[in-house]
Homo-oligomer: A and B are copies of this chain.
Amino acid sequence: MAAPLRVVSFGLGPIGLATARLALTKKSIQLVGAIDVDPLKAGRDLGDLLEMERMTGIIVSADADATLGKLKPDAILHCTSSFMPRVKDQLMLCCKHGVNVVSSTEELLLPTLQHPDLAKEIDAAARKGDITILGTGVNPGFVMDTVAVLATGACHSVSKIDCRRVVDAGTRRLPLQKKVGAGISKEEFQKQLATGTFGHIGMRESIALIGKACGWTLDSITQSVEPVVAERDVKTRYLTVKKGQVAGIWNRGLGKEGDKVRIEMDLKMYVGAPEPMDEVQIEGTPPMHLRLIGGTPGDLATAAMLVNMLPRVVNAPAGLLTMLDVPVPGIVV
């Protein structure tokens, strides 16, 4: 077996911590450092943050530049923000230090979509630094894009793709339950929606990535978000949603070529959702109908995708890549 990849966890929010915890279990990965600017985290042992019984000897640093420069890892697990402008400086540091990046930043799934100039700049820096940067996760990154693209591999022609995902938010962590608005009123939901930080991020990117894979020129990508209202009281580990309160979100998206709907997405995340599942339906020759029965647990699977893509990203050609450019996902040991 090859020497383990030397990896640093950059960003220790809930997803970053879950990803670090998983990385620590992998023989082919050696976690050598951790970075977070939060003064409540910096200086502490990663094992302490992970509530492990033993310390890891990895002390969280708030100084990314110094840590990457000193450790010179093969790659970072990057979980700091959903938005490209907020992570630009972090990515540039990785380019400077020659460190590959697997990132949970949703906008990086297809960086050219919302930030073409920034994408160009980061891509050039990545090539100059001879590193690869990839945005991935479970959604975006897997169930509503990569899995759909894979299914088209068996097709002669494709005219339309439908992706559906149902998540029972009641089985997820509290921040996710709050993010989907569980337990608030419909009025409060509309208010929070207006702030733009609410709900699922990355549906536009998923639609655009599928469109790119299928060779469609999408003239419009639109989405809508509305509340799912509880039809009965639902109790989760963390909170209770009363009948009539918001149970979660219903996020729909459309990608059109002219008047023709090419891609349709339907994502429901709410507490008490029956029959969680992921589904891709392809109108084409042959038609394809793929279902992940029972669904794909988001937090677990996002950490898995980030860690599992590490060796694929380290071995990939330099640049700011997408899931269309790297080998098929698969578990690492």
Contacts and interface: CB of A to CB of B under 8 A. Distances in A.
A292 B332 CA distance: 25
A218 to B, nearest CB: 14
Interface stretch (A72-80, A95-103, A294-302): A294-302
Interface stretch (A40-48, A175-183, A323-331): A323-331
Contact of A153 (B214, B290, B300, B308): B308
A242 to B, nearest CB: 30
A302 to B, nearest CB: 9
A7 to B, nearest CB: 16
A9 to B, nearest CB: 16
Nearest to A294: B289
A215 B311 CA distance: 13
Interface string A144-182: 001101111111111000000000000000000000000
Contacts of A153: 142, 304-305, 308-309, 328-331
A13 interface: no
Given A156-B303, A297-B286, A305-B154, A327 B330 contact: no
A66 interface: no
Contact of A213 (B28, B291, B331): B331
A207 interface: no
Contacts of A289: 292-294
Given A213-B331, A325-B327, A156 B300 contact: yes
Number of copies of this protein chain within its complex? 2
Given A286-B300, A286-B301, A329 B292 contact: no
Given A153-B331, A156-B304, A290 B291 contact: yes
Nearest to A151: B292
Contacts of A215: 28, 331-333
A328 B297 contact: no
A285 B303 CA distance: 12
Contacts of A154: 138, 142-143, 296, 300-301, 304-305, 329
B292 A152 contact: no
A215 B1 CA distance: 10
Interface string A131-148: 000000010001100110
Contacts of A152: 308, 329-331
10 contacts: A146-B328, A150-B330, A151-B292, A153-B305, A153-B330, A153-B331, A154-B301, A154-B304, A285-B300, A291-B291
Interface of A: 22, 25, 28, 138, 142-143, 146-147, 149-158, 213-215, 284-294, 296-297, 300-301, 303-305, 308-309, 323-333
Given A157-B331, A324-B328, 18 more contacts: A22-B156, A138-B154, A142-B153, A143-B154, A149-B329, A150-B150, A152-B329, A152-B331, A153-B329, A153-B331, A154-B301, A156-B303, A213-B330, A213-B331, A215-B333, A284-B331, A285-B300, A288-B292
